[in-house]
Every structure is written in structure tokens, then in C-alpha cells.
Structure 1
Amino acid sequence: MAKLFFLSAGILCIHSAGSSVLIIFNSEHPTKPSQTVRERYPLSYGPLKMRCKTCALVTSSGQLTGSKRGGEIDRSECVIRTNDAPTAGHQQDVGQRTSLRVVAHSSLQRVLRSRQELLNASQDTVFIFWGPSSCMRQDGTGHVYNSLRLLNQLLPKLKVYIISRLKMLKFDELFKKETGIDRKSSNSWLSTGWFTMVIALELCDRTNVFGMVPPEFCRSPSHPSVPYHYYEPSGPDECSMYLSHERSRRGSHHRFITEKTVFANWARTLNIHFYQPDWKPWPTNS
């Protein structure tokens, strides 16, 4: 499996140019804004252009606390982080550089609250936001899209992207292909980790993942207890969170362990490597 799908052609850029907002789409022509919005904000089409030889994908896991992996992470050509995970105060363990930050629609407000660190001081960082189509609509009703457009007017040098509606469907299709599980009928939400891993595989020749446990880790009775987020030491336990979401059938939940099983399978044939904890996937049974 050389490539999962050509994701970069489905990244939409919101970029301020003078008083207008330039929105770069791709050749698949996603749903366009209403005529009124189009008149106010001229559109142009083109893919995201980003390529890295080596990437450090830094999770938000408490596994990174005390790891002293920061220098190793920062030596990577590109450093990828998720949601509102900070670096300030944690540089020794998680590094301080950020090339790309993948953010869920539900984390937008937390990112805005940390604007000074995550936005004002991150003019060289590429931000990719993902969310359901209802949040990303460009006809004036998509609240996340509207917020991002306003944000880009305030910070015109910020590189803000969203994932197209058609590519969002591709993420669902990929999940079903790899697991046999239909995301919607199983009441599952893909995690930001899922989006981030797939994006990394499209943009990076080699992906080094820091802080991701193997899929069987939390089912071991002797696993160490660490917080779900390294920056919330009093927050929920990581494995308790993983197991609770994996087992629940009521409401919508992430399938963290299922996703990690897929990542382990990919690592058998793709250039993915796991650190802190350091592990390799079990070989397939012949």
C-alpha cells in the first residue's frame, strides 16, 4: 500500500489577500459558497504543497511526560502536533517547533483561548482544521468556517486550511476498508489522531510517532498509569479513556484501540516508527 489516497488535493486553504479571502480548493470542485459570498471572496483552485522527508508526529499523550525527547523531535524536518497541545513548559519532553498542527472542529475554541502561543507565535505553522460538513459550510451557516475566515482576517499571515467535504468522506471510507466497520452505523467518531496519521503518511517520507502506545497496551493488567494529555497531569487516565471509548456502544465515541490496530498494520509495510514507548508491530502470521 504505497499511498492511502491523495489527500493534499483535498485540502482547502483560507488565505487573506488584501481585503479578500483566497480559498484554494482542488480539482474535484467541492461545494462552493453562495453567490453572495463568492462575490465578496474570490476563489482560486490548487492543492496544498507540503512535503517532508522526516516527520515527528507528536501525540498529546502523558507517555511523553519526563521523556526528554524534545531535542530528538525538534531535529525532524517537520514536526506535527494536534489540537491545542502546548509546547511552552514542556519543551524538554515534546520539543518546541511546530510545522503542522491538525485541529478538530471541537478544539477550535481552545486554540483561540491559547491564541498567544498557538497562533500569534506560530506564523510559520500550517493549521489544518477538520470537521463535519455542517461546521464547514461556506454559505454562512458553517460556524467553524466562519470563525476561521474571521481569524484569517485578524492574522493574515496565518496558514489556515480545512479538509474538503469529499476528502472527509474518504477518511470514512478508509476506516471502513481497514476495519470492516461503518463509522456512522457503529456510532464512531474518527479521532484527530486518525486524521493526523493519514495526513502524515501523505506528506512525509518517514513518520516517527512519539507517545503512541501499541494496540494491546491498555489490556495488560500491568500497564503504567499516565494522564490522557501530558499538559493535564490531573486529567483522566489514558487507558481508562481508551477502553471506555472502545467499549461504549451508546452515543458517539472514538475507537482509539481500533485505530491503533490499523496504525500497527500500516507500520508493517509503510515507513512508520513508534517511540515513547518504543515498539514495533508484531509480524503477521504466515
Structure 2
Amino acid sequence: MKTRTRHGIIILIGFVTMLTSLLFLYNSSSTDTPEDQMQSDGHQMNVLRRQTSHLEGYNSIIEHKPLRMHCRSCALVTSSGHMTGSDRGAEIDSKECVIRMNDAPTKGYQKDVGQRTSLRVVAHSSMQRVLRNRQELLNSSQDTFFIFWGPGNYMRQDGKGLVYNNLRLMKQMMPKLQVYVISRLKMLHFDELFKKETGKDRKRSNSWLSTGWFTMAIAMEVCDRINVYGMIPPEFCKSPQPSMPYHYYEPAGPDECTMYLSHEQGRHGSHHRFITEKHVFANWARMFNIHFYQPDWRPTPVAKNSTDS
């Protein structure tokens, strides 16, 4: 009995020590350098304090307040292997806001992807990877907004939502972290948006919206101009292409086009419709201030029907 008691005390002490270490690491994280706070033209980058717009459907994890964020220019940086060797880092960091996805790192890749992060959109399935890389992604991110998305059963707020509960604990351990979740109604809105743009019901087509879908849609609410880095055009994978890693930070990982095609063609199990989504993004770029770099491309104009006069 005494042995069990001692074992329980050891576990409790270990857990408390871990929480204390996380808080120490977060509070002792280094502050931004002057270069991190300046745009290339010398103006101070202070958009996160400016906070001029209310964005409904993105609620803070504890206070349940709506996100307040607006940017005149954004760099939306994908995780594609096309970013490797791009030398776009300084160009990306010169934008007023920089948007990233999931656990994509910047340390060691600054020359190609930049080092600033204003907003990071994270899938429920990537939360554990974010926590494992907390020294880079969380402890030094006091000026970064995090928006987490996930299925309704994971994000329930009645004590039964596993991801939601973990996010609340993370916020309690790191009170300065700016953590938001996408509301249930907003998730339904994203489903309806997909159906409106593609004519396909997400659930009936047995597919999941990708983090790229959420990120692009959120960027359209936040940004006046969106520069997208590392996103291929929708027709890219139709012709044979040199192998390109799906993630720039996993050079030995799966090939990008192989991943896209397998998901697009999959009919059994849940899949992302990466190529379908890119058709939608190309269409949005014809109507809104969206531009694609690395590779650089423009959506082809929509052919107009001509009639004889």
C-alpha cells in the first residue's frame, strides 16, 4: 500500500513539474527583435494591436470573445515542398500579416518561408504535433493568433470534447497564448460554402475539408490582399512532374502530386479534395485580390460565349 502511495506521489510531482516547466519556458521566451516588428518599407508592423475588425465564428477559448483582426496585406504560406530553395523569406516577412498552417516550422527555414507568424490555423489532428513543438510554435508566439478547427464531437464545450478540453488546459498553462476555435455554426457555414462552390455535399461525397480550405476562407475575411506562397494550380498534377515533398520540412515524406491525386480519386474512407479546393481558390482569385507565387501562376480567364451580331 505504501509503495502505491509513493508511486502516486511521484507521478503527481512529475506532472506538476511538467506544467511548471511549460509555464517557465513560455514566460521566459525571447521578445521579438526590431527587425521582426518592421516591414520592409520601415513602417512598424503593429496590426495585432490595431485589431479593427470583429470576425464572428472564431471564439476565444476561455472568454468566448470574437476574433479581432484585419490586415491590408497577407502572406499565406503553405507547407508545400515548393517553398524549399525559394528564397522568399524576406518577401513573406515584409507583409503586414503572415499566415501559416498546422505545425509548419520556421526555425531553420527562415530564408525560404520567413520567420514571422501572425495567424496559425491548426487542425484537430495536428494539435499533438503543435504541443510536441511547443518550444518554437507556442512558447515564442505571444503575438500569434491560433485558430483550431475540428469535428463537432471533438470541439464540444460540455466537458466531452477532447480537443476543446486540451485547448482549455493549454490556455490555462499559457495564459498569454491567443487561442480561438471555430464555432459549430461557422463549421456548418464552411460546409455550405464548399457545396455552393462545387455543387458537392461534403458529407455525401465522403470528404473532409482541408486546413488549406479553412485557412484560405479565413484569410479572405481577414486580409485585403492575399499573396499565397507554395500553392500549385489545379491542373498542375495532370502532367508528369518531378517529385516534390508534400511538406517542405519533411523532404523524405510523401510526394505532393501523389498525395493530391490519391485523395481526389479516393472513394472509400475519408479524403480531402485538394484539387477540387484549388479549382475554387482559382475561381476566387478571378474575383478577389488573391495572387499565387512559388510557383507563380494566374488563373486562366473564364471563356466568354460570343454571339454573332
Task: Flag whether TM exceeds 0.5 (same fold).
Answer: yes
Counterpart for residue 63 of structure 2: 22
Q: Look up the equivalent residue of 2:60 and give its one-letter code.
A: C
Give the whole-Å Cα distance in 2 for the aligned partners of 1:7 and 1:243: 38
> Which of the two has higher C-alpha Rg?
2
Matched, 1:185 2:204: yes
1:108-142 deviations in Å (ceiling 9; x for gaps): 00000000000001111000000011011011100
Give the whole-Å Cα distance in 2 for the aligned partners of 1:207 and 1:133: 29
Quick one: which of 59, 71, 86 aligns to 2:105? 86
State the secondary structure of the residue aligned to 2:209. Answer: coil
Higher relative contact order (CA 8 A, sep 6+): 1
Q: Does the aligned pair in 1 maintain the 2:80–2:230 contact within 8 Å?
A: yes
Give the whole-Å Cα distance in 1 for the aligned partners of 2:117 and 2:234: 27
State the secondary structure of the residue aligned to 1:9. Answer: strand
Give the whole-Å Cα distance in 1 for the aligned partners of 2:239 and 2:276: 16
Q: Does the aligned pair in 1 maintain the 2:54–2:68 contact within 8 Å?
A: no
Matched, 1:235 2:243: no
Counterpart for residue 60 of structure 2: 13
Q: Percent identity?
A: 74
Quick one: which of 61, 73, 92 aligns to 2:92? 73
Counterpart for residue 36 of structure 2: none
Counterpart for residue 165 of structure 1: 184
RMSD, aligned α-carbons: 1.0
Counterpart for residue 34 of structure 1: none
Give 5+ residue unaligned stretches, structure 2.
1-52, 305-309
State the secondary structure of the residue aligned to 1:285. Answer: coil
Per-residue deviation at 1:225?
1.6
State the secondary structure of the residue aligned to 2:208. Answer: coil
1:183-203 deviations in Å (ceiling 9; x for gaps): 000001000000000000000
Q: Between Structure 1 and Structure 2, how many residues are aligned?
A: 252
Counterpart for residue 52 of structure 1: 71
Per-residue deviation at 1:23?
2.3
Counterpart for residue 274 of structure 1: 292
TM-score, structure 1 as length reference: 0.87
Q: Look up the equivalent residue of 1:120 and give its one-letter code.
A: N
Give 5+ residue unaligned stretches, structure 1.
1-5, 15-20, 25-46
Per-residue deviation at 1:7?
8.9
Quick one: which of 271, 280, 289 aligns to 1:262? 280
State the secondary structure of the residue aligned to 1:268. Answer: helix
Give the whole-Å Cα distance in 1 for the aligned partners of 2:59 and 2:284: 26
Give the whole-Å Cα distance in 2 for the aligned partners of 1:228 and 1:174: 26
Flag the 1:144–1:7 CA change in 2: closer, same or farther, 3 A.
farther
Counterpart for residue 3 of structure 1: none
Give the whole-Å Cα distance in 2 for the aligned partners of 1:118 and 1:8: 24
Quick one: which of 196, 213, 237 aligns to 2:232? 213
Q: Does the aligned pair in 1 maintain the 2:54–2:69 contact within 8 Å?
A: no
Q: Does the aligned pair in 2 maintain the 1:69–1:94 contact within 8 Å?
A: yes
Give the whole-Å Cα distance in 1 for the aligned partners of 2:54 and 2:276: 22
